[in-house]
Structure 1
Amino acid sequence: MSVIETAGLTKRYARVTALDQLDVNVGDGVTGLVGANGAGKSTLIKILLGLVPATSGTATVLGHDVATEGGRIRSLVGYMPEHDCLPADTSASDMVVHLGQMSGLPYAAARERAADVLRHVGLAEERYRPIGGYSTGMKQRAKLAQALVHDPRLVLLDEPTNGLDPSSRNDMLTLVRRVGKEFGIAVLVTSHLLGELEQVSDHVVVLDSGRLLRSSATTDFLYATGSLLVEVQGLPDADRLLGQALVAAGLEARPAEGALIEVDVRDASTPDLVRDLTVDLGLGLVRMQERHHRIEDVFRDGGAGSVQPV
């Protein structure tokens, strides 16, 4: 059974079509929903939760019809909103307990579950502090905790890294991955940052102006480019020396990110030639690997609005 399935899902407002004939099928694991701001990601989540009616088309979540079973869906799903909507004068513990009770947990069970999820998200020592004194990263963790407290079968995470610095962003992505892999909860996570979804998602759904642009396994976006990435060391200008030697040997070579060299694969002997030239120059070969496109490279070539790399 699909976790989420839509058919011809359309949402029109007075002057804009937010979703246009959207056909999506989401399974278990972590699914990334990517699109530029205004692509329809948040509208889709609201419809899936039964909070906003679709103009036409159908959608089911965990086998339940969003048009008629919104209450049942919300009892089975955890939702982490994008925007800061936390009570500043309440502790994370009290907030998560309260929301656990609203989801149907008895008080004792809600307190136990709140303690568990706050520990899992890294707020065990800070759970009794008022949320108003939290950093942005801590607030995002608290929002994730309340989405998990009632042990949902699916969580919808709307821009969970919004406003975070690089270190906090990586921590949040690790948590998202744990939810999907270790906790066994299906995850739909939205982002306009392509590199984030590459790190955590098993499947990627791309929206562009409310339409489905592409839906496929993350690995399908990351294909071999027919080139090698080579890293060498031993001299301050080791990469330049090897690059010159490769070009002199008739290979196409150019600088890549950092101190890497990208070498086009001419035939099956190319890796051996790279290795032999490295040895001849007295350099150390740190790594040599097939280069793969990142998701952002695919969209740089094909286009998807203003979707951004990390």
Structure 2
Amino acid sequence: MSDSSGGGLPADETVAAGGDGSVVRTLGLTKDYGSVLALHALDLEIGGGVTGLVGANGAGKSTLVKILLGLLRPTSGRAWVLGHDISKAGLTIRSLVGYMPEHDCLPPDVSASDFVVHLARLSGLPRTAARERAAEVLRHVGLAEERYRPMGGYSTGMKQRAKLAQALAHDPRLVLLDEPTNGLDPAARDDMLHLISRIGHDFGIAVVVTSHLLGELERVSDHVVVLDGGRLLRASATDDFLDQTGTLLVEVLGENAQHRMGEALAARGLLCRPRGNLVAIDPVPPGAPDPHDLVRDLACELGVGLVRVQADHRRIEDVFSEGGAHVGHPA
């Protein structure tokens, strides 16, 4: 992977930086604040598409993002972003990367248009190009009609969109989004997740998005990186987290239907238990009859409505349960 600032990386640097196409790579990355070990010997590689960086508050997500941007120095270890060593090429990295901070940082008396133009010019775009680019990205994030209003009057969702727009203003190759759905209601959260998916899948920009909300990462991420207490708990494709457990989930309707179905299944020798308003059937031994037909026949026999029979899937939260960590869920 060559260095766009000229000259290219030496051969050993290229290999270390992820010559196979990784956009972020860390080796033994550690950040020790003295009283808190925010990152501990983190070895990590992130490729293209949308990558979810998940962990509870204090897991080290924001610290990692700020180190990758060159805003914090690591205590030890190394990292590369788009092939550039963070210890040597902070300015180059920041010219190629867009950053959406977690906390509100918008000047209330400035319009979104002026704000995005200003950030685009700071990134090196000429005035005319900056204005054209600002209009384009504000349209993409849904602020075309509101772009001339002072941002102090914006809703939380509009402010998050303005922050996202400035991160895209200079046409970056990678965007780092720190808790982009923070403070949003469910509808605004869905809109933001749709935008993130478009950036990574339609615009072809690599995205790293941090969140402590598990469900939303499952919806938009191609890959997931799980941090716990500054350590890497797991990193893999999202589909690998969501593999089937072998358990079947059954939903039935009718008077006392869940209890009656559970008892009937147990009487036929199946291990089952309630899960919310569903009946969960444990995996059957190899060679045993498929329980789908039994569920159908019992629904007819009991006179209950059979809504669905579906395979159960693991969730990202299961990784935290296995690792003893704790993480939040959407409200």
**Smaller-chain TM-score bracket:** over 0.9
Corresponding position of 2:4: none
> Structure 1 unaligned runs (5+)?
none
Normalised by the size of structure 1, how large is the TM-score? Answer: 0.93
User: Which residue of structure 2 lines up, in the alignment, with residue 149 of structure 1?
Assistant: 169
User: Residue by residue, what CA displacement relative to the aligned partner does 1:152-194 show, whole Å, maximum 9, x if unpaired?
Assistant: 1100001111111222222212211111111111011111222
How many residue pairs align between the two structures?
307
- Determine what percentage of the aligned residue pairs are the same residue: 69
Which of 258, 261, 281 does residue 263 from structure 1 map onto?
A: 281
Alignment partners' CA distance in 2, 1:199 and 1:28: 17
Shift of 1:243: 2.6
Using the alignment, how far apart are the partners of 1:202 and 1:290 within structure 2? Answer: 21
| 1:273 counterpart (278, 291, 294) | 294
**Separation (CA, whole Å) in 2 of partners of 1:106 and 1:132:** 27
Residues 1:268 and 1:64: Cα distance change in structure 2 (over 3 Å) = farther
Residue 80 in structure 1 maps to residue 135 in structure 2: no
Match of 1:205 in 2: 225
CA distance in 1, matches of 2:30, 2:275: 43
Decide which of 19, 41, 48 is 1:28's aligned counterpart. 48
3-state SS of 2:181 partner: coil
Cα distance in structure 2, aligned partners of 1:20 and 1:14: 13
Separation in structure 2 between the aligned mates of residue 264 and residue 21 of structure 1, nearest angstrom? 39
CA contact (8 A) 2:244 2:311 kept: yes
* Superposed CA offset, 1:90-111 (max 9, x none): 1111111111111122222222
CA distance in structure 2 between the aligned counterparts of 1:200 and 1:52, rounded to whole angstroms: 28
What are structure 2's unaligned runs of at least 5 residues? 1-20
The equivalent residue for 2:237 is 217
Task: Indicate the residue corresponding to 2:257 in structure 1.
Answer: 238
Check if 1:286 corresponds to 2:304: no
SS of match in other structure, 1:127: coil
Change in CA separation of 1:138 and 1:236 when aligned onto 2, cut-off 3 Å: farther
Q: Contact 2:233 / 2:323 at 8 angstroms: preserved in 1?
A: no
1:10 — aligned with what? 30
> Does the 8 Å CA contact 1:30/1:177 hold for their aligned counterparts?
yes
Distance, in Å, in 1 between the alignment partners of 2:322 and 2:289 is 27
Q: Which moved more, 1:240-249 or 1:160-169?
A: 240-249
Matches within 5 A, 1:182-201: 182-201=202-221
Query: Which residue identity is paired with 2:148?
Result: Y
Counterparts of 1:63-212 in structure 2, within 5 Å, are 63-212=83-232
Partner of residue 251, structure 1: 270
- 1:268 deviates by 4.0
Aligned AA (1:301): E
1:256 to partner: Cα distance: 2.0
Give the RMSD, CA atoms, in angstroms: 1.7
- Following the alignment from structure 1 to structure 2, what is the Cα–Cα distance between the partners of residues 309 and 97? 36
Q: Is the 8 A contact 1:296 1:309 kept in 2?
A: no
CA offset at residue 236 of structure 1? Answer: 4.4
2:268 partner amino acid:
A
TM superposition shift of 1:2:
0.9
Q: Partner amino acid for 2:279?
A: I
Shift of 1:84: 0.3
**Equivalent residue letter for 1:288:** V
What SS does the aligned partner of 1:242 have?
A: helix
* Contact kept? 1:60, 1:66, Cα under 8 Å: yes
The question of whether the paired residues in 2 share the 8 Å contact of 1:157 and 1:189 is answered with yes
Which is worse superposed, 105-114 or 241-250?
241-250
Cα distance in 1 for partners of 2:257, 2:38 equals: 52
CA contact (8 A) 1:296 1:308 kept: no
- Return structure 1 stretches of 4+ with deviation > 4 angstroms: none
> 2: distance between equivalents of 1:110 and 1:268?
65
Distance 2:126 2:148 in 1: 20
- Code of the residue aligned with 1:253 in structure 2: it is C
Secondary structure of 1:9's match? Answer: strand
Supply the AA of the counterpart residue of 2:300: V
Is the partner of 2:270 in helix, strand or coil? coil
Q: Distance in 2 between matches of 1:268 and 1:149?
A: 58
The DSSP-based 3-state class of the residue aligned with 1:15 is coil
Which amino acid letter does the alignment assign opposite residue 79 of structure 2? A
Q: Aligned pair in 2 of structure 1 residues 107, 220: CA closer, same or farther (>3 Å)?
A: same
State how far apart, in whole Å, the 2-side matches of 1:217 and 1:36 are.
20
Distance in 2 (CA, whole Å) between partners of 1:242 and 1:16 is 51
